[in-house]
Structures are given as structure tokens and as C-alpha cells.
Structure 1
Amino acid sequence: MRVVFMGTPEFAVPSLQAIVKSGHEVVLVVTQPDKPAGRGLKLKPPPVKVIAQQMGLPVFQPEKLNVPESLQVIANAKPDVLVVVAYGRILKEECLAIPPKGCINVHPSLLPKYRGPSPIQHAILNGDEVTGVTTMFMDAGMDTGDIILQQEVPIDPEDTAGTLSEKLAMVAADLLVETLKLIEEGRAPRIPQDHSKATYAPFLPPEIAHLKFDQPAKHLRNLIRALNPDPGAFAFFRGKRVKFWRAEVVDGQPTEQPGTIVALDKNRLLIATGEGLLMPTELQTEGKKSLPVSEWLKGTQPQVGERFS
């Protein structure tokens, strides 16, 4: 089949590679424009653009998608099907109507759970043990279309948003190839979602990254996992921002004020929380590199009774 592929971040790269490998003709890759990055604010291409150019595929980066000029470029590619994997913008009905076999979305959750832009982070934040990938026919709503295929993926207790995203990206690629095969053969199911069971996963607000130690240690640990690698959960210590990249929970009923260091040795640091103790295992003081807690302790030399705020 002739495929227009729409995607932007690293998560979408395995899906694009899998489509090409499976023998479908990718007639156009649509991705978001290059964006300034780094201290020099040099324009950086999105990962999908980089891999598409390496494979010799035509790339289109419209500033605005749902305008006649952009839609005409897509229509001129004459796709049989349009595939969306983390493109980052909403497709309006005019775009959805272009391919005769429909528009397919790959979503990293078991819909109707976690509709929206941040399903991976919310699954970890909520302490879920299982998530998955859904392929669906797109409609005008946000992740509301009929389901084609789903596959469960277990969430390891040590998974971060980064590691879970990598796992789901590989599952998504395989599920997408299977989905396209069913569409090509005219055998793709259309399973309506139960909208009464829908939950939503909006973007996490920036302020959530500032750890509030009056919350339970278990919640703080999940938050740290959900914000790794971007943007990273943090607190302040001796006036400097310290990012918490990994942490464990230790049972206990601290009487000290939340955020207080209640115990430490050369390899361990325990922080009082609203419920239980938080034991960070990887920390990064601003301006320095990320360190195992043993190295951070050696360089910082905190004292029992000092507080993270």
C-alpha cells in the first residue's frame, strides 16, 4: 500500500522503519518543523526526519497542517492509508478524508484508558502494572476512534517513562505492521470504544516536577519515574536545584518534618515524607553530572537534620 506516515519523536522511528521493511511504499513522511535546541539554539531536526532522510524518503514539515496548501501536498501523494504515530498535532476532518482506506493512529495505552498526549507518564504516575498499545481508525475526536488491535505490555517496577517508551515503541511497530496487513486484506476489525470507561492523560503541568515531600514516598517515587528523562523531578538542597532520577521507598513512620534527612551512611540517604521514607539512588545537583547516591553523598556531605525543600 501507499502510506503517508506522520510522526515526530523517537517513539515513532521504529514504526516508520517497520513499515518500510514490511514492503509498503512510504510516499511521504510528515513531521514537525526543526526546532531550536541547546545553548546555541541551533535548529535541530526531529528524529523522524533524520531517519526518513537516511532512508531516502520525501519529508514534509508544514508549520500548519490543517490548511489547504498542506492538505494538497498530502493529497498529491495519493496515499491508500495515512498512519499517525506521535505526530503531535490534531488532524481535522479534511485531512482524515484524504486516504481511501482511512487514517490509522498508534496510541501507547489500552484505550479507552489514557486518551491524550501523556499516557506513558500517567500509567507510571498512577502505579499501573500493565499498559499497552492500541491501533485504531481515527475520527474527529481525541483518541476516540474504533479499535483495530491491542497488545498488553507489563510495566516493570524499575521502568521510567524513558524505558517504558522504548518498550512500547517496539511493540507499536510490530502491531502497526499487523494492522496494515489486515487493512490491505480488508479484514481489519472495527471495535467501538466504551466511552463511559474513558480516562484522560493531559500534559503534566511543569509545577508537578517540584517534589512535595508531604506526599507519600510511593507517590514521589512514581513521579520521579514518570518524569525521567524529561523534565526530571527536583527539589532544592542548600539553595541549589537537585534532580531526582531514581529512588526507592523504605517503610517507616518518620516524625521529622517532610523533606528532612533522617538517616544516612556512605551509600544511603533517607528522606522523611508524608508517608514512608524516600531513598534516592541517583541524584544530580544543578551544573553537575548525574551521580549514584554514594558519589553524590561523598561530594555533598549532607548531614542528618538538613532538609530538601
Structure 2
Amino acid sequence: MKTSAVVFAYHNIGVTGIECLLQAGVEIKLVITHQDDPDENIWFGSVAELANRHRIPVITPDNPNQAEVINRIADLQPQWLFSFYYRHMLSPELLAIPPRGAYNLHGSLLPKYRGRAPVNWAVLHGEATTGVSLHQMVEKPDAGSLIDQQAVAILPNDTAHDVFLKLTPAAKTLLDRCLPLLLTGNIEPKPLDLAQGSYFGGRKPEHGRIDWNQSAWTIHNLVRAVAPPYPGAFFDSSGRRFFLLGSHYSGETAVHSGKVCIYWADSTDGGGRAMHGAIAEDGHFYADCADNKRFRIEQLSCDGIALDHSAFKAMTGDEPLSLND
């Protein structure tokens, strides 16, 4: 008898999870996913489109824990339940349906970064490593015993988007390795020690506000954690809202000692070698920070309009934009 599952899935990892289950010979009786939010930047693959190509029924309930959904899944009598980047918590009633268990793929090395937006939080905190974890689902979020996990590196200038793109093939590697063992009952779950980990809630656009009292490394981590396709890091100055939509950190010393500011650095326009000593400037915006370090700004905008040197000069008179309190 072919083993069967019901799958809750969304995003690229949802697509990958379904593909891995099908490759492993699992019959997917139903896929539960989300309707795309028109206010969200949809840069990732469609679970619904994949399921439709494989003629798998799809539903998109606002609440997966309502009686109608629970009863429909119970009637299907799936042996397994899987969740791949699905955004809602599943009720104990749902988790109790499959006799062989319910399993979730989470975007961190559990027990670290339990909860929402694990990739963004890991980048924000300057982590050098994260990964994906397959674990048993229990009522408490991301707390069930671990099946397996796969690590990926976070490089110093990776954005959250860069890291997420690494997690998708890592998820395939993980599932290709552990699904055959899980499906045949030849893998032993390992309890998580939650005291060794951390839990984080969801992020909102306001969480991208920059505190210029922090170090260059800390601010750079915020910028890359929320860089597009996420909403971006921002600050307000003189009634204008500025967004930093990309950054690069290499540990350089700030140019304007004791001053927190943004400026254009180009050796060809009087703001380069003569002003900055031995530093060969490259025609970018930079931010000098409170710890006397600086980082390069890859894209700067003001009130929704991308800034170049001439637009910035028209605003500041070619003087640095002061960010000191």
C-alpha cells in the first residue's frame, strides 16, 4: 500500500518539500497553502501551481484549524502530515490525525531561532551559520523532537534573501537524506533542549528603523536582514524618509571621526583621496557610524526615489548628511 500524506506548504521550501515527497513515492492526498497577499512581494515559487500540475487537490483556508478543514483531512486518513513553511500553527486536533506523525521543516538549526522569520533574525544577529531542521510537530511551536538538520553558511555580506536561496537546496539535501529513513521507521527522533535555543516573533516594517547609535556592523546586519525583497531599513531626517536597500561591510575605519553621517565618496569629485587619505573611493554612498567604522551603502532612496550623487548633492550641498542626535 502506498504511503499517503496531507501537506501544508508555502514558499520555495514548500515547493521543494512537495517535490521531495513525490520523489520518495508518497501519495499526497491534499495540499493546504496560502492565497498570495497582494501587498506582499511574491518572489518565490507557487505551491498551488505545483500541486495543480500534479493534479493534487488544493485548498487555501484562512484558518486551517476550523472544523471543516479538520474533518476533510480526517476523512482522507493520511498516514503522515507535513508542514513546509506554512505560516499558521496547526491545532492538536490536526496533529492527532495521522497515525505515523506530523512533521515540520523549519528554517533554522533548532532549537535556535524557533518562531517566525528565522532567516531574517539570524542575519540580523550576525550569525555565521543557520540551516533547516525537520522535527516532529507538537502544540508548542518548533519544540518537537528533531529528525535531522542541514547547515548552511551565512557570509558577512549575505542578505536574508541570499541565505534563503541557500536554504532551498539545503532542504532538498536534508529531505533526500532523511525521508527514506523516516518513512520506513529507521530514524530515531532526538528531543530538543529548548533551553539551548531561542524564540522570536514575527517582524514588521517598523522593525527596520535604524538606530544610528549602534555600531556599523550592527546596522549593516539590520540592512541586509531586511533588504529587498523585504521592506528595507530606514531612518527619518528633516521630514524625509530614507531607505538603505543594500550594504557592504569590510571593517573600514570611518572618514569623519566622531561624526555619524552619510556621504558620497568618489575620488574624482573632490570627495576622494584628498579628503580620505589613502582610501581609494569608488563612487558609492557610505555611512560613518558611532563606533568609528563605516559601511558602503549599495542603494539609497529618499521618499521612494532612488538617489544618485547629483540628487544627494542637491539635497545636502555635497556635505555629509549628519545623523548625530
- TM bucket (normalised to shorter chain) is 0.7 to 0.9
Code of the aligned partner of 1:270? Y
- Secondary structure of the residue aligned to 1:127 is coil
Instruction: Name which of structure 1's ranges 222-231 and 206-215 shifts more when overlaid on structure 2.
Output: 206-215
CA distance in 1, matches of 2:262, 2:159: 25
- Correspondence for 2:309: 297
Instruction: Tell me, yes or no, if structure 1 residue 307 matches structure 2 residue 322.
Output: yes
Residues 285 and 300, structure 2, Cα contact 8 Å, conserved in 1:
no
- Correspondence for 1:172: 171
CA distance in 1, matches of 2:284, 2:38: 39
Unaligned runs of 5+ in 2: 269-282
Matches within 5 A, 1:120-269: 120-229=119-228, 230-236=230-236, 239-249=239-249, 250-252=252-254, 254-261=256-263, 265=267, 267-269=283-285
Residues 264 and 284, structure 2, Cα contact 8 Å, conserved in 1:
no
- Correspondence for 1:17: 19
Displacement, 1:95? 0.5
Instruction: Name which of structure 1's ranges 45-54 and 79-88 shifts more when overlaid on structure 2.
Output: 45-54
Q: TM-score when scaled to structure 2?
A: 0.83
User: Which structure has the bigger radius of gyration?
Assistant: 2
CA distance in 2, matches of 1:219, 1:38: 26
- Report Cα offsets for 1:31-73 as digits up to 9, x if no partner: 123434489xxxxx98222322233221011122212211011
- Correspondence for 2:272: none
Displacement, 1:134? 0.8
Code of the aligned partner of 1:258? V
- Correspondence for 2:118: 119
- Correspondence for 1:279: 296
- Report Cα offsets for 1:154-188 as digits up to 9, x if no partner: 11222111111111122113312433211221112
Code of the aligned partner of 1:35? D
Residues 24 and 180, structure 2, Cα contact 8 Å, conserved in 1:
no
Matches within 5 A, 1:37-48: 37=39, 47-48=46-47
Displacement, 1:299? 4.1
CA distance in 1, matches of 2:254, 2:296: 12
Unaligned runs of 5+ in 1: 40-44
Matches within 5 A, 1:83-122: 83-122=82-121
Would the alpha carbon gap of residues 239 and 109 (structure 1) be closer, same or farther in structure 2, given more than 3 Å must change?
same
Q: TM-score when scaled to structure 1?
A: 0.87
- Secondary structure of the residue aligned to 1:26 is strand
CA distance in 1, matches of 2:39, 2:50: 18
CA distance in 2, matches of 1:116, 1:38: 20
CA distance in 2, matches of 1:158, 1:168: 16
CA distance in 1, matches of 2:171, 2:40: 30
After TM superposition, where is structure 1 displaced by more than 6 Å over at least 4 residues in a row? none
- Secondary structure of the residue aligned to 2:150 is strand
- Secondary structure of the residue aligned to 2:180 is helix
CA distance in 2, matches of 1:298, 1:221: 24
